[in-house]
Structure 1
Amino acid sequence: MRLLAAAEAADHDESFNLDGVTYRRFDPPARAVRLARCCTWLLRPNGTRFDVGATGADCFWGR
């Protein structure tokens, strides 16, 4: 999935463009090791957040 690859290559608060849409990586540092994240969050142009990794899994598994 191109969106997931682009999101993983971006740093926290870094914007990137894919297919004419600008996304921003939202992945602030965890406050503790036990709170490490397993999600790759992006901000859409309208400001809503979504987990691009979960979206890719849902598409793959047909959820």
Structure 2
Amino acid sequence: MFPYLRRYNETLALGHVLFRFLEAVVITVGIISVLSLPLDPKPRICSGSRSGSRLFLRLRRFAQSRT
């Protein structure tokens, strides 16, 4: 597409290439972030584990103390 746009307007062609590069970067970051998630079938905080409950209580107390 770059050669066709360059005939019309070189600035537009470079903007198109830059946008496509930015799109590829955003997609790559999204894929890496999804793949970096733990593959635990049950979430720990929502399953009622003690550490998750303690964390929730600490965050709630912290938020209440700030108001």
Q: Which of the two has greater strand per residue?
A: 1
Higher relative contact order (CA 8 A, sep 6+): 1
- Using the size of structure 1 for normalisation, the TM-score is 0.27
Q: In proportion to residue count, which structure has more helix?
A: 2
In the superposition, the TM-score normalised over structure 2's length comes to 0.26
* Structure index of larger Rg: 2
